[in-house]
Structure formats: C-alpha cells, structure tokens
Copies of this chain bind each other. A is one copy, B any other.
Amino acid sequence: MTYCVGILVQDGLVMVADTRTNAGVDNIATFRKLHNFEAPDRFISLATSGNLSITQTVLSMVRDGLEDPSTGRIDTIFNQETLFKVAQLVGRAVREVWRVDGAGLEEQGGRFDIQMMLGGQISGGPMRLFQIYSAGNFIEVAQETIFFQIGEHKYGKPILDRAMNFNTDAYDALKIALISMDSTMRSNLSVGMPLDMVFLRRGSVIPEINSRIDPGEPYFHDLRERWSAALRAAHMAIPRPPYGPR
C-alpha cells in the first residue's frame, strides 16, 4: 500500500509520500514513491501508488523518452513546454505500459491498477497539480479542492477536509499533511516510514524543502505525540452524552 498527499495552496506545492511497499504482508520493502525531476527551468514531482512494476516502467519512460509518432521527436519530462503536456506524457506512458504489459498482467490475475500525482513548476508557467489514473486520464486541483490523495486515502482525509483551504500557510499545510500521514500509518501497517516531502514555493523551480523524515526524526516524533495528546484532550473536553433511560 501507499499513502501520498499533494496540496496546492497560494504559497505553493506541498507533497508528502510514504515509502513502504508490500507484496503480501511477508514481503515488505522500502521504495521511494516521490520522484523529483530537477532541471534549471523546472521542478516536477511525481508521486506513485499501485503496482510497482507499472509505476517504475512509467518513470523510466518519461525520463528516457517516448517517441511522438506525429513528429518523431523524443518526448521526455524535461523537454515538454508545459506541465499540462507533462501530464499528457505521463498518461501516454501509462497507456504504453498497459499496451505492453496489461494483458499479461491480467492473465496472471494481476490488476493494472495505479494512481499518480504530478505537481510542479516550469519557469514562466503556472504551478499545477494533477492526479493521473490507470487509463492515463487526469484531473487537476482547483481553488475549492486543493488536495489530492493516492493510495490509502481514507484514514487521513478527515483532517485534510477540515483544516485547510487555498489560503492556508504552506508550512501549516505541510504540518496537516504530516498529521494526515500519522493517522494513516497508525491505522494501516502497509503505510510506513521514512517519509519523503517537498515544498516548492509558487514561482520557484528550486524546492524550499526536499528531504526525508526518518524514524525518530525529532519534529515528526514530537508532532505525533502532540497530536495524540491533543486528540485525547479534545474528546475529554466534550461533555458526556446526556442520553439516558427512556
């Protein structure tokens, strides 16, 4: 399983992802799921969930290039003019993997099941955040719906729904994403540390944060403790139900 959350606020783009993969509970591994593509004119982050063979192949394809059949040009994540075209390229790569591997995968009882989030900035263009599906189609965040989640999304959704809007400070948005990640890791063993995170300030192509939180990292440890204590205090401060015998 996987949990990744991407948030686009006024300040910029926040993306956080776990790193645990599992092929059954007896086959746990750590793989990076937040993949950054850095160049002088762009910073793009692609978060992946679902079948690892599919997502790794898509990553190789968009890095190494796919030929555009109409022009013969090799399209890569580094030479697309806009983020929209990057999203289209990722979608094409997903469909190409489906064309090659889809039938074989399903014959063996596997499912062609992935989801991705694509966020970033190309110099001179708008900052954008997309969610990309198994069919290669995609949607984009809006001012009313500023975040996407992929993977195990339910446990961590209530705090995101309640606590954020487009004007939320980016560091608060990152904090809320980490709380959401904590709730998910507590409830689903297949989502786990370390965590990767990115904060890209709007207009910039150099991330302000691009780092990993390892187990025991002091701030995240403290956040988890404080959040637990605050939840306990929160429900204890609510009066007991007044209901009684009929």
**B-contacting residues of A (Cβ < 8 Å)?**
154-155, 157-159, 161-163, 169, 171-172, 174-176, 178-179, 183, 186-187, 197, 199, 208-211, 219, 222-223, 226-228, 230-246
Residues in chain B near residue A172, CB distance under 8 A = 235-236, 240
Whether A241 lies near B178 (C-beta < 8 A) is yes
Q: Can you list 26 A-B pairs with a CB-CB distance of less than 8 A?
A: A154-B154, A155-B155, A157-B187, A158-B186, A159-B231, A159-B235, A162-B186, A162-B228, A162-B231, A171-B240, A172-B235, A172-B236, A172-B240, A174-B243, A175-B235, A175-B240, A179-B235, A179-B238, A209-B241, A209-B244, A226-B237, A226-B238, A227-B235, A230-B237, A231-B234, A233-B234
Q: How far is the CA of A77 from the CA of B155 in the complex (A)?
A: 36
Q: How far is the CA of A75 from the CA of B240 in the complex (A)?
A: 40
Residues in chain B near residue A178, CB distance under 8 A = 241
Expressed in whole angstroms, the minimum distance between the Cβ of A173 and any Cβ of chain B is: 10
Expressed in whole angstroms, the minimum distance between the Cβ of A113 and any Cβ of chain B is: 18
Whether A187 lies near B158 (C-beta < 8 A) is yes
Residues in chain B near residue A158, CB distance under 8 A = 155, 158, 183, 186-187
Whether A230 lies near B234 (C-beta < 8 A) is yes
Q: How far is the CA of A186 from the CA of B186 in the complex (A)?
A: 21
A154, A211, A238 pick with most chain B CB within 10 angstroms:
A238
List the number of copies, as a whole number: 2
Q: Which residue of B lies closest to A206 (CB)?
A: B245
Residues in chain B near residue A210, CB distance under 8 A = 246
Q: Which residue of B lies closest to A179 (CB)?
A: B235
Residues in chain B near residue A246, CB distance under 8 A = 210-211
Q: Which residue of B lies closest to A236 (CB)?
A: B172
Residues in chain B near residue A235, CB distance under 8 A = 159, 163, 172, 175-176, 179, 227, 230
Whether A209 lies near B243 (C-beta < 8 A) is yes
Expressed in whole angstroms, the minimum distance between the Cβ of A116 and any Cβ of chain B is: 22
Residues in chain B near residue A187, CB distance under 8 A = 154, 157-158, 161
